[in-house]
Structure 1
Amino acid sequence: MSSTANIIIAPDSFKGTATANQAAEYLAAGVREILPDATITLAPMADGGEGTSAVFGGQLITLPTTNAAGRLTEASYTFDPSSNTAYIDVAAASGLPAVAGLEIATTADTYGTGVLIADAVTRGATRITLGLGGSATTDAGAGILVALGAVPRNKQGYALNKGGADLINLDYIDTAELNIPAAAVEWILLTDVTSPATGPQGAAAVFGPQKGATEKEIELLDAALQHTCEVLDIDSNYPGMGAAGGIAIGISWLSTLMHGSAAHVHILPGAPVIARAIGVEELLTEADLIISGEGRLDSQSFSGKVVGTLHTLATAANVPLVVAAGQVAADIPAGINAVELEKSTDVAAQLRAAGRTIAQNFLARS
């Protein structure tokens, strides 16, 4: 069996060092050195965070937009004309790395992501799939609304300042210049967390610190999100409502405005949706081994993330799973097979070496 093994390689991205596609290719190269006759299927994964858009097929669209600080940048998304679906990572335009070190926790906004959405609609998109991970924002999707022509205003009728903090003064949203086709699309919101919008487990409290928010700013942002939910009649406790700084709040309101309910907004855990979309379950029926990978393997990897999703599917299919990781924490569940990457700055060499090790171990067991 070993020389003609059927192997699936389905890693997540290694943030900042390798995309999921690159990681899959590097791991496969290492495996082939040991098992040259193996049938290897590359199935790069994502969980709603960075790299989600690239998992799906279609045209790569790149255009000027703004980052979370309002500065000019370029961002890309994937458009599939066969299904009229745009796959957009919030991190592409509104991500944290591009604004790291800037003190913008209360003013960072998602306007740049809204520009990508509006562009996709001009190309014929009727469904927008947003990967919600990795945002620098806590603005309840207000920036997206502004880009689509819906302007949040205070009691005096003035447009709110950009970002999440001024949402504490939200009185209503002006839709006089609303982009109707964009507002009416079907929304698939892929999350890598199940956080509510507000409270101790909410967007500001849990993710505010990594976005540079102080304790006082976290309190202000949490209160602003709660106020926004009350004004827009959104359930702040709904699982996933807090992902990407509460983007689902604004989108749920917008879609409800257009359709009378939020039935056209689907907040879903990213990794299972992506695994289903690329056919991992079907591939597992013929597989002898599945290999995944991520930067750090710990207990959180098994809470809706790529590795946890694949572990569930592989266990059900009785297929062994091995994970290549930059770091392997001590708190991972018992029975998880993991290979820690060698210390190096060459990620390609690290992953090829991990692929070789995994293949050698598989050969020995076979």
Structure 2
Amino acid sequence: MRKIVLAIDSFKGSLTSAEAEAAALEGIRRVYPQAEIVCIPIADGGEGMLEALSALRAQEVRLRVQGPLDEKVKARYLISSDGQTAYIEMASASGLPLVPENQRNPLLTTTRGTGELMRDALNRGCNHMVIGLGGSATNDGGMGMLSALGIRFLDRQGQELEGRGCDMEETDRIDTSFAHPALKTVRCTAACDVRNPFYGPEGAAYIFSPQKGASPDEVQQLDKGLRHLAELYRQTTGHDIATLPGAGAAGGLGGALAAFLNAALRPGISLLLEANGFRDKIKGADLIITGEGRADRQTTMGKVPAGVLNESRQTGIPVVLIAGQVADKEILRSAGFSQVYDTTPPDMPISTAMQKDVAQTNISRTIEDLLK
């Protein structure tokens, strides 16, 4: 083989995308030492998005912003080389790992830090923002983010609310008179890998807030708040985001971006592949290898390997899928993957397989065996 492309997602809990690809590269070199190997670090728009964009040689901006609770956190985003596009990973400022397990409560968390990153990018002259919506600790309907951009949420007494999950029901009026002026012209694209609506049985609160610490009663309270907020958003902007697919992403942040910034909600993997120039990089390739920590029928529903497969479909280049664990092999093959490989030996405990050095060895060995 003359050219092999690696576009492997992180093996969550074990390896980053770059680490998984480095292990695969080692396996390729043992069989085809002269082959051209193209590594494309990849992610789905959530955590790891900025690392996946490392090939862009963008400027990194580091800030201290408000975290999901009251404390300040160190966050970062990227600005493209032409200074026009900001790449923001909301998990950097408002992500679940930033909140200790015993303090997780989406009634109290806020997306304000994400808004502070956006405000800084606007102040630097960026006119396009790409925002990854995965991995949030929040369910504030985007109130915190909008507050950081100058939009005021007022209760019945005219007092300004902070923009936390518990503030959604308390909001009586939205004041946009102090909104950042660039909001009228900025173009916004949200990397969004869920199709959930803003509220309801399949909405942000019911589907995602329990994993962020919400009790059953709190889930109902949050859903009522989102329902109330959706109507206020419609009255304020004219955009009805209640049933918009993806509006429930990141606790309703997707809906807020769509309502106030007219954001396009796009699958994260397609955005990342486009930004990384995937179609140009795979030209002339003999093989594409993609993968993730666990592959099953859910893989075909918008995950990274499915995105790689879809982008490659018209080229005729075979796409091989590797994963630490594999289920539903026949479904995966019928989806279009030329081969599907489990990197973990059948007699190896999962706890062992997830150790970094073991996971890397397993990937290298698997790649070497499949190429032979």
Q: TM-score, normalised by structure 2?
A: 0.88
Change (3 A) 1:334 1:326: closer
**Structure 2 Cα separation of the partners of residues 132 and 361 of structure 1:** 35
Matched with 1:251 is: 257
Unaligned runs of 5+ in 2: 235-239, 346-351
Q: Bigger shift: 25-34 or 202-211?
A: 25-34
**Mapped pair 1:354 → 2:360:** no
**Structure 2 CA distance, aligned partners of 1:346 and 1:60?**
30
1:46 to 33, 39, 43: 43
Letter in 2 for 1:92: S
**How much does 1:9 deviate?**
0.5
Q: Secondary structure at the match of 1:133?
A: coil
Deviates more, 1:266-275 or 1:280-289: 280-289
The amino acid of 2:233's aligned partner reads L
1:74-112 superposed Cα distances (whole Å, 9 cap, x missing partner)? 011111141511101111110111114113221111011
Aligned residue number for residue 343 of structure 2: 340
Structure 1 residue aligned with 2:72: 72
Within 2, Cα distance between the matches of 1:75 and 1:12?
22
* Partner Cα distance (2:76, 2:135) in 1: 15
- Partners of 1:297 and 1:332 within 8 A in 2: no
Q: Does the C-alpha gap of structure 1 residues 307 and 185 become closer, same or farther in structure 2, counting only changes over 3 Å?
A: same
Distance (Å, rounded) in 2 between the aligned partners of 1:250 and 1:119: 19
Whether the 8 Å CA contact 1:11–1:24 is kept in 2: the answer is: yes
Could you tell me which residue of structure 1 aligns to residue 128 of structure 2? 127
Structure 1 regions of 5+ residues with no counterpart?
Answer: 256-261
Partner of 2:267: 269
Q: Distance in 1 between matches of 2:320 and 2:248?
A: 32
Distance 1:346 1:244, change over 3 A: same
Is 1:23 paired with 2:23?
A: no
- Secondary structure class of the residue paired with 2:227: helix
Query: Letter of the aligned partner of 2:253 in structure 1?
Result: I
Q: What does the per-residue CA deviation read over 1:282-337, in whole Å, with 9 as the maximum and x for residues that have no partner? A: 33442221112222222222211111112233444332322332332347724251
Task: Name 2:246's counterpart in structure 1.
Answer: 240
CA distance in structure 1 between the aligned counterparts of 2:294 and 2:332, rounded to whole angstroms:
16
Aligned length: 352
The Cα shift of 1:175 comes to 2.9
Tell me how large the CA RMSD over aligned residues is: 2.1
Residue 294 of structure 1 corresponds to 292
Q: Quick check: 345-354 or 137-146, which moved more?
A: 345-354
Distance 1:129 1:199 in 2: 27
Shift of 1:218: 1.0
